[in-house]
Chain A
Amino acid sequence: MRLHLSPEDQAFRKEMRTFFTTQVPQSIRDRVASRRELSKEQIVEAQRVLNAAGLAVPHWPVEWGGRGWTPLQRHIWHEEMMAACVPPPLAFNASMVGPVIAAFGNQEQKERFLPPTANLDIWWCQGFSEPDAGSDLASLRTTAVRDGDTYVVNGQKTWTTLAQHADWIFCLVRTDPTADKRQRGISFLLFPMDTPGVTLRPIELIDGGHEVNEVFFEDVVVPAENLVGEENRGWDYAKFLLGNERVGVAPVAMIKRLLASAKEHASEVTDGGVPVGQDPLMAARIAELENEVLALELTAIRVVANSADGKPHPASSVLKLRGTELQQAATELLVDIAGPLSLASFAGAGSEVPDWARVATPSYLNYRKASIYGGSNEVQRTIIAGSILGL
């Protein structure tokens, strides 16, 4: 039991902080701090800066760019990156398809895909959810029928995040509709988004933004060599992918950033001449949220420290559940501090409403997604009740 970081980890933390705050372009970090959407070019540029320094995929196997860090060092890397407003490496590449190819792909696939995936030369999107397969992912219906050296894919995916930027998609498809368990007949396929028969339809969200899409497949021909691992084992790879990441499960540093800006704005906006932050109810609300975020951060450190065996720690579900709740609470706090200013969401350049107040409500509405994606919070409660409490 020890409170402070070891001298080595303190030095590591300082090294990370220095890199993130000096080597990633300020304009990109300012954009993240403003809570505004980044362009594709900004996301790509940031990831290439990280990758050139060996900081894009530190959790991958060392031969493919991993760093062999301790779990605590990976936690520090992630938190310092987020605290410095550096956009994290694209999750679809760095946390999802990369680790799957590294673990289950053949040598040719690794050589072909891993370096450009780390460098974001290939932008991946995730073809998992379907209109009738949300939390119940195993009910997916997109089919891939083997035809000689190819698969022919038909069906539809949805909620496909940033597919408008994507070069390739990693896709769960049903290859054996007759399998005795529906999880058994699923395979993991890779194909370019510009393959004939792939079409995209944007979905406008309640914040007015275009973040997700529907993707349609009509007789899409995919070379059989783009199958990852074995046919009909795709469910195992998807489970590996979803349970792979323990670092950064709870967006601690992002919530802390939101809370720090909430404090700042609560001292600027006044109510009857008195700063909102001096209202005892508001001060108590901020203090309680801050304490809950501390509890979350400490729990994240406990989970990370206990992850040496490589298996997901069951308490990861606590991090997802509480992390998204607190993230939502922080976005809600900012809307409430903005008060009537929060109505000026789409005000133009001539508006006197500060930008943080304009973005507050769209961001609050946008983050309602957090308790739904990545295994909804109800799924997390099911996991806690089942695997931890044995209910």
Chain B
Amino acid sequence: MEFSYDNEQIALREAVGGLLTRAYGGDQRRAVVAADPGFDEKTWARLAEMGVLGLPFAESDGGMGAGPIEVSIVAEELGRVLAPEPFVESVVLAGGLVAAVGTAAQRGEVLGPLTEGTSVLAFAHAEPGSRWSAAAGAVRATADGNSWTLTGVKEPVPHGARADLLVVSAVAGGATRLFLVRGDATGLERTGYRTHDGGRAAKVAFDGTPAELLGEGDADRSGEIELALARARIAYSHEAIGAMEAALAMTAEYLKTRKQFGVTLNKFQALTFRAADMYVSLELARSTVLWATLVADAGDDVVTAADRARLQSSRAGRHIGKEAIQLHGGIGMTAEYKIGHYTSRLTAIDHQLGDGDWALSRLAAGVADHPTVDPLS
């Protein structure tokens, strides 16, 4: 077992970190998230130029042929500066589904432009009233010969209003299937709004909307959706690690400079011990999340590994997010100061694809199946 990055991976981290620090190292983020589409199209284009948007896709599909480790490096750098670009949503999740399920022609048509930064994808899967299921719920797909139409509502769909192309889950013949819907399709109504963390989501309503079946055959796709969600959960967990690391560093810095009662706050053991506990949470979560990426890289049980990463990073994210505000005091409550945005983003990540209790419930269901967990096997 080996936890260190190779030289190429270190170079990727430095390149992406450099780009994102230039884009968001100062106060730029507030202005960017204030205006639609909620991220910076220029930064998106620069990520594309760097090859970042094609990292997980095969070269034959127009991608870069890298893997989960490279994806995790990018996600952590995004989290560190709270970059709002939809890398996990568009590339890892929606793109990942096209790569897993699409025909060769679809992969080429969709993943090439995604890699080049000319087409933003979104995965329209969540439905009002249900949580974190791999199966589609009430959106129905109807076939008429070889053509399909969709009817129903998906919400909230991350970046659903901006997306050029939607990957949509829908029920047909009792099975969950996947479809591609163009952003300019007829009968498609999209109502976008801000999310609390500065991101964007949308209500996406389908009313006899023309759709293209993703992949071939009439197999149920919830298994592939579960796998793609697992990979995205791991990537989100890395984004959370980057955010937690930055939030802890900002908090430690604040404790060293803010004065009350005539001394800096780091003279108060009640505060420094709490910062120490934040570090413990961060490092334990980091270990689990790194391991989950290695499991994905090795092609082992990625679903369980993602649940483990989600549980540990959810607990850590809540702990660090809440303590970061408390240790800052009143200034942590202000929109002008950065720290609260970290807490908001960590909260959003926690609820996007499954929170800690949800992951724990799945792990608890299988806890009697094995005497121990052996990460060295």
Contact = CB atoms under 8 A, between A and B. Distances in A.
Interface stretch (B140-148, B287-295, B347-355): B287-295
A298 B291 contact: yes
Nearest to B72: A1
B2 A298 contact: no
A4 B1 contact: yes
A287 B364 contact: yes
A1 B6 contact: yes
Interface of B: 1-6, 9, 69, 248, 252, 255-256, 266, 269, 272-273, 275-277, 279-280, 283-285, 287-288, 290-291, 293-295, 297-298, 300, 308, 311-312, 360-361, 363-365, 367-368, 371-373, 375-377
Interface stretch (A46-54, A131-139, A256-264): A256-264
Given A76-B376, A292-B284, A286 B364 contact: yes
B287 A299 contact: yes
A299 B275 contact: no
A263 B287 contact: no
Contacts of A302: 3, 287, 290
B279 A286 contact: no
B345 to A, nearest CB: 22
Contact of B287 (A295, A384, A389): A295
A295 B312 contact: yes
A349 interface: no
* 10 closest cross-chain pairs (CB), A and B: A298-B287, A3-B294, A385-B272, A384-B276, A295-B284, A283-B364, A287-B364, A381-B276, A391-B266, A260-B371
Given A294-B288, A295-B287, A318-B284, 4 more contacts: A2-B2, A3-B295, A295-B284, A378-B273
A288 B280 contact: no
B4 A305 contact: yes
Contacts of A386: 272
A189 to B, nearest CB: 35
Given A283-B365, A287-B367, A5 B256 contact: no
Contacts of A389: 248, 252, 272, 275-276, 279
A296 B364 contact: no
A292 B248 CA distance: 21
A263 B272 contact: no
Contact of B273 (A5, A76, A301, A385): A385
Contacts of B373: 256, 290, 293-294
Contacts of A322: 280, 284
6 contacts: A3-B291, A305-B2, A381-B276, A385-B276, A389-B252, A391-B255
B3 A286 contact: no
Contacts of A315: 283
A322 to B, nearest CB: 6
B3 to A, nearest CB: 5
A296 B281 CA distance: 11
Interface residues of A, number: 50
Interface string A1-27: 111110000000100000000000000
Given A298-B375, A305-B4, A318-B279, A1 B69 contact: yes
B372 A259 contact: yes
A292 B298 CA distance: 22
Given A297-B375, A385-B276, A391 B256 contact: yes
B284 A288 contact: no
Contacts of B308: 291, 294
Contacts of A118: none
Contacts of B9: 1
Contact of B272 (A5, A297, A391): A391
Contacts of A3: 1, 291, 294-295, 297-298, 300
Interface in A81-116: none
A4 B298 contact: yes
Interface string A166-196: 0000000000000000000000000000000
Interface string A375-386: 000101110111
Interface in A293-342: 293-299, 301-302, 305, 315, 318, 321-322
A286 B377 CA distance: 21
B86 to A, nearest CB: 25
Nearest to A301: B1
Nearest to B285: A295
Contact of B277 (A295, A296, A297, A381): A381
Contacts of B298: 3-4
| Max count, chain A CB within 10 A of own CB: residue among B3, B298, B308, B368 | B368
B77 to A, nearest CB: 16
A277 interface: yes
Contacts of A280: 364
B311 to A, nearest CB: 5
A291 B256 contact: no
B193 to A, nearest CB: 35
A284 interface: yes
Nearest to A302: B3
Contacts of B287: 295, 298-299, 301-302
Contact of B375 (A72, A263, A264, A294): A294
A267 interface: yes
Nearest to A264: B371
A388 interface: yes
A298 B361 contact: no
A390 interface: yes
Given A298-B287, A391-B275, A384 B280 contact: yes
Nearest to A384: B276
Contact of A1 (B4, B255, B300, B360): B4
